[in-house]
Amino acid sequence: MSCHVPARYATDGLPRARGVFGRDNPRNSPTVFNAAYQTAEHWRADRDSVEDQARRALLGKPSFGNATDEEALARLRALPAPYPEEFRRAFPGDAEPVSIRNWGTAIGAYERTLLTPGPFDAFLNGDGKALGAGARAGLTAFMDEGCVQCHDGPLLGGNALRKFGVDAEYAPLTHSNPVDEGRFEITKDEADRYVFKVAPLRNVARTAPYFHDGSVATLPEAVAIMAQTQLGKQLSAERVAAIVAFLESLTGPVPATFSPL
């Protein structure tokens, strides 16, 4: 598929993902790198895990296009060699090793290997030279401005849900059209209007465009918008540049085992 391209750090570079038969998805395609270690998948956190995401991606028009589990299963069982034998080796205790459940388990096991440690990790592990002076200054700005209130944990995000637009509405700044109401569309709870998963920041400098709808093309613009919408701050160009320098240090090498699905 074209959704997770190695040169684009397992994204597609499009504002909104394009699924089977050229059908547009409503949201930006997130990277699969480090995805398994988020608390949930997708922008609205409507997939419990990478295994759940893989299984459910078989169905629905924007994804693989199968209308039913039976249709999806028929396609899985029609896969040519070496897949049937590989499923049998991977799931030797199953009478029917080629199944939707096992498909999800196998893809999830693979995605759990797609980790991208970078210079920031070396810095955290005691290598004071891993970050240059600019990135270190950016790390200080990142913390002092309050970005860590949401972008925390090993992935600097990916572990919480937050309203996009705490201090200012996001759409006038991102020029989003249409305006996505986030988890509200799922729960119908007013508290979930404009709520999305906090994006993890690993490899963020390589995964433009930004936000759930790919409405912002550059990382400096995205940083400035986040400061306005989430923190109520107008950051100077110098402050934005410092934070971007830190975010660059979150880029790690593409895993040698990665190939697009």
Per-residue pLDDT of the chain (261 residues; tens, 9 = 90+): 578 899 999 999 999 988 776 778 899 999 999 999 999 999 999 999 999 999 998 887 656 678 899 999 999 999 999 999 999 999 999 999 999 999 999 999 999 999 999 999 999 999 999 999 999 999 999 999 999 999 999 999 999 999 999 999 999 999 999 999 999 999 999 999 999 999 999 999 999 999 999 999 999 999 999 999 999 999 999 999 999 999 999 999 999 989 654
Among 111, 138, 158, the domain boundary falls at 111
Last residue of a domain, one of 62, 77, 111: 111
Predicted confidence at residue 208, as pLDDT, reads: 98
- Residue 44 sits in which domain range? 35-111
- Which tokens go with 166? 């705490």
Looking at the 3D structure of the chain, how many domains does it have? 2
What's the pLDDT at 2?
72
255 part of a folded domain: no
Q: Which two tokens stand for residue 163?
A: 């309203």
Query: Final residue of a domain: which of 111, 139, 155?
Result: 111
Task: Tell me, yes or no, whether 107 and 124 share the same domain.
Answer: no
CA distance linking residue 208 with residue 218, whole number of Å: 7
* Nearest Cα residue to 196 out of 14, 42, 30: 42
Q: What is the pLDDT of residue 67?
A: 83
Q: Which of 90, 226, 86 is nearest to 164 (CA)?
A: 226
Distance CA 197, CA 212 (A): 9
Residue 52 is which amino acid? D
Residue 27 lies in a domain: no
**21 in any annotated domain:** no
Cα separation of 73 and 100, whole Å?
6
**pLDDT tens-place string over residues 29-80:** 999 999 999 999 999 999 999 999 999 988 876 566 788 999 999 999 999 9
> Under a CB-based contact definition with an 8 Å cutoff, are residues 203 and 116 in contact?
yes
136 and 220 in a single domain? The answer is: yes
If asked whether residues 198 and 174 sit together in one domain, one would say yes
142 and 227 in a common domain: yes
Q: Do 249 and 204 touch, CB atoms closer than 8 A?
A: no
- Looking at residue 1, its pLDDT comes to 52
Q: What is the CATH number of the domain that holds 71?
A: 1.10.760.10
Both 96 and 206 in one domain: the answer is: no
Domain membership of residue 50 (yes or no) is yes
Residue position matching structure tokens 């944990």: 153
In a domain, 157, yes or no: yes
CA dihedral 3→7→9→11, nearest 10 degrees, is -20
Please list the residues that pair with 196 across neighbouring strands.
Answer: 162
Cβ-in-10-Å burial (0-12, 13-18, 19+) of 28 comes to buried
Looking at the structure, tell me whether residues 140 and 219 fall in a common domain. Answer: yes
With tokens 């270190």, the residue in question is: 136
Question: In sequence order, which residues have a C-beta less than 8 Å from that of residue 48 and are 6 or more positions away?
Answer: 40, 41
Are 66 and 156 contained in the same domain? no
Please indicate, yes or no, if residue 17 is contained in any of the structural domains. Answer: no
Residues 125 and 240 in one domain: yes
Residue 127 lies in a domain: yes
